[in-house]
Amino acid sequence: MRAVTILLDGVAYGMILFIISVGLTVTMGLMRVVNLAHGAFAMLGGYVATALTLKGVPFLVSCLLAGAAAGAAGALAEVTVFRPLYRKAELQHVLLTIGLCFIAIAALTLFAGSTPLPAIVPDWLDRMVDIGYRSYPLYRLFLIGVGAVMALGVWLIMERTLFGAKLRAAVDDAQMARAVGINVSRLFFLTFTGGCALAGFGAAVGAGIMPLEPFYALRYLVYFLIVVAVGGMGSFRGSLAAALLIGVVGTAGRYIVPQFGGFLLYLLVFGLLLWRPNGLLPPKSAA
């Protein structure tokens, strides 16, 4: 039964990675913007949620407000910083966004201190429930449920709505999209804002598994990039599969061989990218 516990823990961790990384899947895979500051927007949301919860705001309301705060920051950054980058080379994307990441880290350290924040889990989630063979934390089951709902929602929006169709058209040929009346700038603005909001919400709701501290944006950045690369650039199904795989393998490594857990995860990623360089489930155009 230990395997079931590892699987559940890994899926809970993977769902958080997916919620945070799906915005990066959009910006890197669809909008072609290398946003290494994505973790900074997630970190902002996590800090906002913790501050609100400590002031007595209900946990779920705090998480939603955290997503809104991260989305607002993303909206401001899209207009002032990222929009001029859309037609620039990838190296300029990397240099500017990693600079933003360091600025965010310095600002949070200045205003919130360098001490990691406590994980805020409400009383109604901070308990054990019987799952048949043992008791299991309700909080982790909650994360699995939230992740599943978010994954379904993002998939429906991107694959079954006019908004998703317009976004794919704008990415494939922005000039033609404008010619048929699509407001590409507004479309990218809404998409980038939504991705940042999801990142902030994911960091807030998943702070019990991925603790918040000033270097959060850099500490977990490699995992967010792995999810995008291993899943397939611009593939939502691939990002979900990659996040779950990373979550389960990383968790299993920590349980079974803690001294080599991280090594095994990166070895797996190396092998997967050699086997499928376009990702596990790349978009049809990249397959």
Assigned domain for 37 exists: yes
| Total number of domains in the chain | 1
pTM for the whole structure: 0.92
Assigned domain for 78 exists: yes
CATH of the domain at 252: 1.10.3470
pLDDT category at 285 given cuts 50, 70, 90 is low
Contact 43, 111 (CB under 8 A): no
Assigned domain for 282 exists: no
Assigned domain for 280 exists: no
Give the pLDDT confidence of 36-84 residue by residue, as tens digits: 999 999 999 999 999 999 999 999 999 999 999 999 999 999 999 898 8
**Smallest Cα–Cα separation from 205: which of 270, 126, 285, 121?**
121
| Percent residues over pLDDT 90 in the chain | 54
Average pLDDT across the chain, whole number: 89
Assigned domain for 221 exists: yes
Domain that holds residue 188: 2-275
pLDDT attached to residue 287: 47
| Contacts with 109 (C-beta within 8 Å, 6 or more apart), sequence order | 214
Q: How far apart are CA 226 and CA 47, in angstroms?
A: 24
Give the pLDDT confidence of 177-196 residue by residue, as tens digits: 888 888 988 988 999 999 99
Length of the chain: 287
| φ, ψ (nearest 5 deg) of residue 129 | -130, 150
Assigned domain for 284 exists: no
Assigned domain for 286 exists: no
Assigned domain for 57 exists: yes
